[in-house]
Amino acid sequence: MSKRFSKMGWIVLAALLCLSLVLMPGCTTEPAEQEEEEEEISIPFKNPDTFIEMTIGDAESLDPAWGYDTASGQQTTLIYQTLVWWDGETSDVVPVLCTEYELLPDGVTYRFKIREGVKFHDGGDLTPEDVEYSFERTLVQDRSGGPVWMLDEQLLGEYYSPDAGFAAIDAAVEVDGDYVVMTLADAAWAIPWLQVLAGPWCSIVDKEWCVANGEWDGTEATWMDFHDPLSGSSYLWDKTNGTGPWMLEYWDPGIEISLVKFDDYWGDPVQFERVITKKVEEWTTRKLAFLAGDCDLAYVPLTYIDEMEGIDDIQLYKDLPNLTVDSFFMTFDIDPASDYIGSGALDGEGIPTDFFNDIDVRKGMNYAFDFDVYIADGLSGEGAQRGSPVIDGLTYFNPNAKMYSKDFDKAEEHFKAAHGGDVWDNGFKFTLLYNSGNIARKTACGILAENLYAINPLFQVSIQPADWRSVMIPNLVTSKMPMFQIGWMADYPDPDNFAFPFMHSQGTFSHFQNYSNPEVDALIEAGKFELDPAARKDIYYEIQDWYYDDAPGIMLAQGFARKYFTKYIHGFYYNPMNPVYFGPLWDMTKSES
């Protein structure tokens, strides 16, 4: 009897187990069920004087001269201040730690009157000497891979400060009574320099505090000891002393950073007693915390924006244009050692190393791409096609710039003309890599591969996900990838900051694709140093036309941002140059009303 019963028990339990697996809610729910469930959700009001952000990034360093990532820039922007800052939503600047500034008639000398009565967090007073020291310290440090190249270029006329020498660093920024005088390397930098000055890398630090804690002493004798330091060796790496409205309370790397209000802040009072940025990689955890009122702003990846529909207590700001753009670069001279070009010949089993050197191949690729599908599927509609790297938000953006659109007939026409007709007759095979997990880039690869196959079944492109660090970067910097996707984010909103890396033969990306057009190089160099705005506009319009005509890549889209706040946060406005993800917190408030 007991034996029979135990068999029955087994059956019943197995059935229960199967039922439970079917009936138990999974990690995702059907959209209809989800909406029904979420419509009832209201977000409770919690932590009245604290602003909490949950995001996926963490600061690399709190040393303003080191940080080049937005997560670091966010924290240093709240802790430190710069001489000037963005005026509301514009790319103009207004004085912050200076009270006024002027450009002298020579066109290269700026005079900044330093604000009085400003206190550092440890009690020290802001002086013109602090400002001079801050810039010189930044130029001296000039770490590899850091942001200081902008200062090197505009103040010293070099890309690395050691090339200019200490005398040039010393002379670039000088104190003159209550003023600080800065001498630019060229008059062409007069406008971009004010934009560079608003960047977190131009934050002002306290000289006495730095020197007392073992930082560079300001002398020529020691400057090379502090040049290009190893990661983490600067005292300011994780210790701060700025003039901003909040000061560092603690930094738990990879977990959270907590800032606390600075009582002696010189500016208008701020509401938030604390600003906490938490790194929460798991989306479900972030979402639940947001809905439970445990954070005021959550980073929502594009793939999950549907889950945020139908929740009443959310404030959504959308279609905010980022100063970023992604492009599909075509490599003009592929390394023959590449694993991604098949046979390496135009025999239907691969592509030759100079495959993309033919303008007809490049134009054919552009006509084969479906930009609308890319924006709809890859970016969930959150972007706009651009014709060149000079995107909306940059000076001299041409809203009527020529752009490609999907046209299989024209693509066919160009492919038939490419490489003496061999491309069309023999077909080709190559591999596209994308960094695994990046939906937009995977979508772009898929669109291109499918459309090429639809144009001619002999055009066979395989797609392969790859790790960004161990596979993509090493292949990218050695020109082994036939095509690669990568994006650029503005350092400052000048068209040169985009045209150069995308189109100049020495540009960060164009260099790796071996793209070189002497006429384009000459135009970019002319644009960089042109003083007359009308002439400069003509140059950048011409550069934008060149991108269409020369088609060195498939210019994809300028992405749009979304910000999800709870309804309790007020006062947000958007400036794409503000590295603080949650906006101008000093002007923002939180209340239950």
Which residues lie near another protein (CB under 8 A)? 2-3, 5-6, 9-10, 13-14, 17, 24-27, 44, 46-47, 50, 52, 60-61, 68-69, 144-146, 228, 230-232, 237-238, 249-250, 252-255, 258, 274, 276, 278, 280-282, 284-285, 288-289, 291-294, 468-470, 473-474, 476-478, 486-489, 491, 501, 508-509, 511-512
Min separation Cβ 39 and another protein, Å: 15
Q: Which residues, listed in sequence order, are joined to residue 180 by a DSSP beta bridge? A: 112, 175
In the complex with another protein, the residue whose CB is nearer, 287 or 414, is: 287
Give the contacts of 432 (CB within 8 A, at least 6 positions apart): 340, 445, 448, 449, 461, 462, 463, 464, 482, 483
| Alpha-carbon dihedral angle through residues 220, 221, 226, 228, given to the nearest 10 degrees | 70
Min separation Cβ 502 and another protein, Å: 12
Min separation Cβ 107 and another protein, Å: 28
3-state secondary structure of 427: coil
- Note the maximum CA span of the chain: 106
Min separation Cβ 91 and another protein, Å: 19
Phi–psi pair at 383, nearest 5 degrees:
180, 170
- For tokens 């029904």, the residue is 36
Min separation Cβ 70 and another protein, Å: 9
| CA nearest neighbour of 257 among 46, 48, 61 | 61
In the complex with another protein, the residue whose CB is nearer, 16 or 454, is: 16
Give the H or E element holding residue 589: strand 589-590
In the complex with another protein, the residue whose CB is nearer, 248 or 418, is: 248
Min separation Cβ 218 and another protein, Å: 24
Min separation Cβ 497 and another protein, Å: 10
Min separation Cβ 289 and another protein, Å: 7
3-state secondary structure of 523: helix
Give the contacts of 551 (CB within 8 A, at least 6 positions apart): 359, 362, 363, 365, 366, 404
Min separation Cβ 486 and another protein, Å: 5
Q: Which residues, listed in sequence order, are joined to residue 86 by a DSSP beta bridge? A: 93
In the complex with another protein, the residue whose CB is nearer, 62 or 204, is: 62
Asked if 259 contacts 78 with a C-beta cutoff of 8 angstroms, the reply is yes
d(CA 478, CA 433): 14
Q: How many Cβ atoms are within 10 Å of 454's Cβ, its own excluded?
A: 12
Asked if 211 contacts 218 with a C-beta cutoff of 8 angstroms, the reply is yes
In the complex with another protein, the residue whose CB is nearer, 157 or 162, is: 162
In the complex with another protein, the residue whose CB is nearer, 44 or 420, is: 44
Min separation Cβ 66 and another protein, Å: 10
In the complex with another protein, the residue whose CB is nearer, 260 or 458, is: 260
In the complex with another protein, the residue whose CB is nearer, 81 or 558, is: 558
Query: Concatenated DSSP letters for 461-522?
Result: EEEEEE-IIIIIHHHHHTT--SEEEEEEE-SSS-THHHHHHHHSTTSTTTTTTT---HHHHH
In the complex with another protein, the residue whose CB is nearer, 71 or 131, is: 71
In the complex with another protein, the residue whose CB is nearer, 14 or 535, is: 14
**Bridging pattern class, strands 459-466 and 589-590:** unpaired
Angle at which helices 359-368 and 408-417 pack, to 10 degrees? Answer: 160
In the complex with another protein, the residue whose CB is nearer, 214 or 232, is: 232
Min separation Cβ 405 and another protein, Å: 27
